[in-house]
Amino acid sequence: MRIQIDHITKYEYSQPARQLLQVLRLTPVTNGNQNVIAWGINFDTKGKLNAFKDAFGNQCHTLSIDSQIHNLTIETIGTIDTNTNSGVQKDVVETLPPSVYCRYSPLATPNNDIIEFAKTNMDGKERLSGLHDLMAALHADIKFDTQSTTTITDAKAAFEAKSGVCQDQAHIFIAACRAMNIPSRYVSGHLLRQDGNDYQEAAHAWAESYVDNLGWVAFDPVNAICADENYVRVAIGLDYRDAAPVSGTRIGGGIETMSVGLHVRQSQSQWQS
């Protein structure tokens, strides 16, 4: 499937901002499940864009701006060909061993309730079967609610509230897996919706867990499915903080207001192998 993405992040500052440094994790890489046909990053002010790979193997950029600005728009536009491997990640370049992803992280650390939830759904089961059961239970137990959490809400708070967005469900899933000593990591990316609406107010998030003899398998608790050809994988990390699409620092600027909007649509020009 050929997917086209147009992702815009806008910042507005109540006072002039200067010396901005943004880290952009907005660029997907080619692997066995996706082929990057074209990709570009545009911004509407004078600045420098430098590419680098982080410790997780993500394709990143730093955007540095020295002049005073009142607003900033960052746009990424690209085209990706995707295929499905039933959630199994193929030909992904790994920079770290799976055991690294057993480590607890600030947003994906289990408490006693999450540990009990993990045991209830996974104890005594073959790993892949247990992961599917965990995903289904989480999908049924956590209400999707865009108003109940923020980007700094951790797995414990979201699980207690029994509500949250894709980021929160991914964190709970990861925390539960780590409680069972299953390497698991956070994934940020894009989802081609099946309801005909190509406009979205945020990127998507899901999780990957390591299964012996299969490798990394992608689970999306919000939709209760393993990632298929409708998913574009962009960045990974221990939790959201490692894979956030845009993060950074600045001097000045007063109050910052950020808005995000993106179009994810299927291209009319279909890819055929």
Q: pLDDT tens, 17-54?
A: 988 999 999 999 999 999 999 999 999 999 999 999 99
Indicate if the pLDDT at residue 273 is higher than 70. no
What is the Cα–Cα distance from 30 to 34, expressed in whole angstroms? 6
- State mean pLDDT over 77-95: 95
Predicted confidence at residue 18, as pLDDT, reads 86
Contacts of 169 (CB under 8 A, 6+ apart): 138, 139, 142, 144, 158, 221, 222
What is the Cα–Cα distance from 247 to 271, expressed in whole angstroms? 34
pLDDT digits (tens, 9 = 90+) for 114-171: 999 999 999 999 999 999 999 999 999 999 999 999 999 999 999 999 999 999 999 9
Predicted confidence at residue 196, as pLDDT, reads 78
Predicted confidence at residue 272, as pLDDT, reads 40
- The amino acid at residue 218 is A
Indicate if the pLDDT at residue 227 is higher than 90. yes
| CB-CB contact of 21 with 254 (8 Å) | no
What is the Cα–Cα distance from 66 to 180, expressed in whole angstroms? 47
CATH number of 98-243: 3.10.620.30
| CB-CB contact of 47 with 41 (8 Å) | no
What is the separation of C-alpha 258 from the centre of its chain, rounded to a whole number of angstroms?
A: 18
- State mean pLDDT over 172-198: 95
What is the separation of C-alpha 264 from the centre of its chain, rounded to a whole number of angstroms?
A: 15
Query: What is the domain partition of the chain in residue ranges?
Result: 2-82+245-266, 98-243
What kind of architecture, by CATH, is found in domain 2-82+245-266?
A: Sandwich (2.60)
Predicted confidence at residue 135, as pLDDT, reads 98
Predicted confidence at residue 269, as pLDDT, reads 62
